[in-house]
């Protein structure tokens, strides 16, 4: 039973601050995903948790005990890497158990039992005598996960473990990892740059950018109530549209007005304070509907490219010079240059500060609303 705390953790490599004052608490048994673009500090954070990288400032705690300066071998941690890191000359079983005997912590019988248990969970019982070159990518990754499981770690670290697999296998392994975690409930910290993987796997998702934590929340919370423009655009595919607007009072309430944009804003706290500021209206492609403009909601777009996706058509377009994406029905007849009036779901709107990117408004919830704790 292990919870993990990162307390104001900073990692500097000479003049690069890879991780900047990171505060994060991972509950016992939680599956936390660290996600962000390349170079945002995810792997460095994981390596500090493993003890493979020193911490410049701050503390790492496991169940309340500082482990900041402990060697990896003195932390009961296991790590699964993107490249599997299996010894090519050893069988799958030997890869899984290598070093356990010499560590003297386990008897031969215990090791056998643990291998049998992990192999059954991962469905690799028939592969144990094979060497890595006789295994597929997915099977190799199962063996690498098996090696982590036999050690019964207090916490499990995974660094992009599915990136080397093809798309179909990745989706299958993603589901298997979820199932495995439900079964074992080992505290897990999982790094990926893939927002879909983050959303589907994480109990909570921590979004990082340029060494800084942007937001940590449950997947749906991140999607529905991003804390800033970065999170809004990073989580979700295609990304949320952000269109330049001003907020004005028109006698009936507030409207967001910009070139090609005229949208009535449901009133939640703080809207009056935004009058006159340079803002971005955030609206997701699926919350915009072609030919559904009304007096209350109208976004005028010109089509640049149409991408038929089978079940829908993705439209790349422009709203008065600002790039935007829309989804319309399958077999759409829209063509380049067509002008479309979109209506927006009024309870799915956001406003961001144009300069800082901070979220200033959600149309269906006050910014003050606190997220429920994970345990509820």
Q: Pseudo-torsion of CA 47, 53, 54, 57, nearest 10°?
A: -40
Nearest in space to 331 (alpha carbons), one of 363, 367, 306: 306
Instruction: Output 215 or 306, the one with its CB closest to ligand ATP.
Output: 215
Instruction: Output 56 or 200, the one with its CB closest to ligand ATP.
Output: 56
Instruction: Output 10 or 63, the one with its CB closest to ligand ATP.
Output: 10
Q: Which two tokens stand for residue 177?
A: 């990892």
Chain residues binding ligand ATP by CB under 6 A are 13, 16, 18, 36, 38-44, 193
Instruction: Output 47 or 140, the one with its CB closest to ligand ATP.
Output: 47
Are the C-beta atoms of residues 221 and 376 closer than 8 Å to each other?
Answer: no
**Residue holding tokens 């505290």?**
187
Minimum gap (Å) between residue 170 Cβ and ligand ATP: 16
Instruction: Output 11 or 142, the one with its CB closest to ligand ATP.
Output: 11
Minimum gap (Å) between residue 12 Cβ and ligand ATP: 9
Q: What Å distances lie between residue 42 and 11, 22, 39, 173, 287, CA to CA?
A: 11, 11, 8, 21, 31
Q: Residue 51: which residues within 8 A CB-CB, separation 6 or more?
A: 67, 70, 71, 72, 74, 75, 77
Instruction: Output 132 or 211, the one with its CB closest to ligand ATP.
Output: 211
Instruction: Output 44 or 91, the one with its CB closest to ligand ATP.
Output: 44
Could you check whether the bond before residue 238 is cis, i.e. omega within 30 degrees of 0? Answer: yes
Instruction: Output 144 or 191, the one with its CB closest to ligand ATP.
Output: 191
| DSSP-derived pairing of the beta strands 359-362 and 350-353 | antiparallel
Minimum gap (Å) between residue 40 Cβ and ligand ATP: 4
Minimum gap (Å) between residue 156 Cβ and ligand ATP: 18
Minimum gap (Å) between residue 159 Cβ and ligand ATP: 8
Minimum gap (Å) between residue 295 Cβ and ligand ATP: 46
Query: Computed from CA positions of residues 242, 244, 247, 252, in that sequence, does the dihedral angle turn out positive or negative?
Result: negative
Instruction: Output 40 or 351, the one with its CB closest to ligand ATP.
Output: 40
Minimum gap (Å) between residue 161 Cβ and ligand ATP: 13
Minimum gap (Å) between residue 211 Cβ and ligand ATP: 7
Structural element, H or E, at residue 130? none
Q: How far is CA 286 from the centre of its chain?
A: 20
Expressed in percent and rounded to 5, the helix, strand and coil fractions of the chain are: 30, 35, 35
Minimum gap (Å) between residue 320 Cβ and ligand ATP: 35
Separation of alpha carbons 76 and 152, rounded Å: 8
Separation of alpha carbons 211 and 220, rounded Å: 23
Separation of alpha carbons 189 and 260, rounded Å: 44
């Amino acid at each position: 039973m292990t919870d993990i705390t990162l307390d104001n953790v900073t990692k500097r490599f000479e003049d690069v601050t890879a991780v900047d004052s990171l505060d994060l608490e991972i509950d016992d048994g939680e599956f936390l995903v660290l996600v962000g673009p390349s170079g945002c500090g995810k792997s460095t954070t994981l390596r500090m948790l493993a003890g493979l990288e020193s911490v410049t400032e701050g503390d790492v705690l496991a169940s309340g005990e500082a482990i900041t300066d402990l060697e990896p071998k003195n932390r009961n941690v296991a790590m699964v890497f993107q490249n599997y890191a299996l010894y090519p000359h050893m069988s799958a079983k030997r890869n899984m158990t290598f070093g356990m005997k010499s560590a003297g912590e386990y008897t031969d019988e215990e090791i056998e039992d643990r291998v049998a248990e992990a192999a059954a969970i991962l469905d690799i019982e028939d592969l144990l005598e094979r060497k890595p070159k006789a295994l597929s990518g997915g099977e190799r990754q199962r063996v690498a996960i098996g090696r982590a499981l036999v050690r019964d770690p207090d916490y499990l670290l995974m660094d992009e473990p599915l990136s080397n697999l093809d798309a179909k296998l990745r989706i299958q392994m993603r589901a298997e990892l979820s199932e495995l975690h439900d079964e074992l409930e080992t505290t897990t910290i999982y790094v990926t740059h893939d927002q879909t993987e983050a959303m589907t796997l994480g109990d909570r998702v921590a979004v990082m950018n340029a060494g800084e934590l942007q937001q940590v929340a449950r997947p749906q919370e991140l999607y529905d109530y991003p804390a800033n423009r970065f999170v809004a655009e990073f989580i979700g595919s295609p990304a949320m549209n952000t269109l330049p607007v001003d907020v004005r009072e028109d006698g009936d309430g507030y409207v967001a007005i910009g070139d090609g944009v005229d949208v009535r804003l449901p009133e939640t706290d703080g809207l009056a304070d935004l009058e006159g500021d340079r803002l971005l209206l955030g609206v997701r492609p699926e919350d915009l509907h072609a030919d559904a403009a009304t007096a209350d909601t109208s976004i005028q777009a010109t089509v640049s490219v149409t991408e038929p996706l089978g079940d829908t058509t993705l439209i790349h377009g422009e709203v008065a010079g600002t790039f935007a994406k829309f989804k319309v029905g399958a077999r759409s007849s829209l063509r380049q240059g067509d002008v479309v009036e979109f209506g927006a779901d009024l309870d799915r709107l956001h406003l961001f500060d144009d300069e800082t990117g901070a979220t200033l408004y959600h149309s269906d919830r006050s910014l003050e609303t606190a997220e429920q704790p994970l345990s509820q």
